[in-house]
Amino acid sequence: MGRRFCVRCGREEGPDTPIIDGLCPKCFMKERGILELPTKIRVTICPICGALYIHGDWIRVGGSVEGAIEYFINETIVKRHNIYPGLEDVKVKVVRMDSGVIYLRIMARYKDVSLSQDAVTHVELQKKPCPSCLRSRSGSYEAMLQIRTIAPVRFDVMRDIGNRLARVKEFRESIVEIKEHKDGVDVKLSNQAIGRYVANILKREYAAKITMTWENTGYLGGKRRSKLTISARLPGLVSGDIIEYEGEPAEVMRLKKGRVIIKRLSDGKVVSLRHDDIWRGDFRYLNEKDYAILDGRILNYEGGRAVVQATGSGNIYFIKSPRILNLGSRVKILIYKGKAYLLI
């Protein structure tokens, strides 16, 4: 294959200087550029919560105004096929904004070579309250969704639930107010049907126990009105949690499609708990005050049981082991209700 040169400056093609449409990267950036930007970018943003209006939907992105504009550009202009053909991984970063002028850095990749382009354009911010903030100011709501967990509230668990429910457009649009508590979250909604819909999601995907109650709020136009309270109680478990199931301790392995997968410590059997298994009364979350965990070492096997020595106290335990480990193996001993179990 013959050598190729830049038709503008004559530079020869090399590993770090590929020829792009007859031009070296430096000349390509001057002649073509990565992204074709409009002379003015119009962005509609909620002045109260910072939500962006994109493709007919309000999206909460959080952060600064510059961050919201950056998100808008990457989600709209970059995805409108304004990119020069052959370029990949195009991203736009807002460097700074000053009196309606926005300074950008546009990055891309051509084969194994990174490209960067500085650009300047104008931005017009249109501030308009989103429907959720308008409803919040009025304080009017029709349903209250109360999300609680058996296990202590964990940020990762609540974030996962929030991200899942946020995928429901109607749910996002009906939010009036969100209040976080130490034991969960309360969400006021303007639509009872949406509240019932997301309650079914929580039951199906997170094994939630759902309770619904109505409160009479008077009459409007001759019809009785009532507000709906939806109590959604979730296990809220994560891998490694210890629970009691059918009177025996078990370790939580994972959560999958609304089921809790556990391993019984007495025999190592893996059990998949369905919604009814969890809520019929044989299930209890155990906190660290309910049991003790000791470091131990396998000394021997006698009569089908592992002989385990606690490294701290030197106490010897004869524990039923679900599988054979090498002598000398380090293990964890769980003491619950005076009985020892292996955590392996």
CA dist 249 → 258, 281, 324 (Å): 21, 15, 20
- Domain boundaries, given as residue ranges, for the chain: 33-127, 131-234, 242-285, 292-343
Whole-angstrom distance, CA of residue 333 vs CA of residue 344: 9
Tokens, residue 161: 């639930």
One of 2.30.30, 3.30.70, 3.30.43, 1.10.760 is the CATH number of 242-285, namely 2.30.30
| Among the listed residues 294, 290, 289, 336, the one whose alpha carbon sits nearest the alpha carbon of residue 314 | 294
Residue 251 has pLDDT above 90, yes or no: yes
User: If pLDDT is split at 50, 70 and 90, which confidence band does 250 have?
Assistant: very high
Residue 295 has pLDDT above 90, yes or no: yes
User: If pLDDT is split at 50, 70 and 90, which confidence band does 210 have?
Assistant: very high
> What pLDDT is stored for residue 2 in this prediction?
63
Q: Which fold has domain 292-343?
A: OB fold (Dihydrolipoamide Acetyltransferase, E2P) (2.40.50)
Please give the angle made by the CA atoms of 14, 20 and 22, to the nearest 5 degrees: 95
Output phi, psi for 225, to 5 deg: -110, 150
Residue 221 has pLDDT above 60, yes or no: no
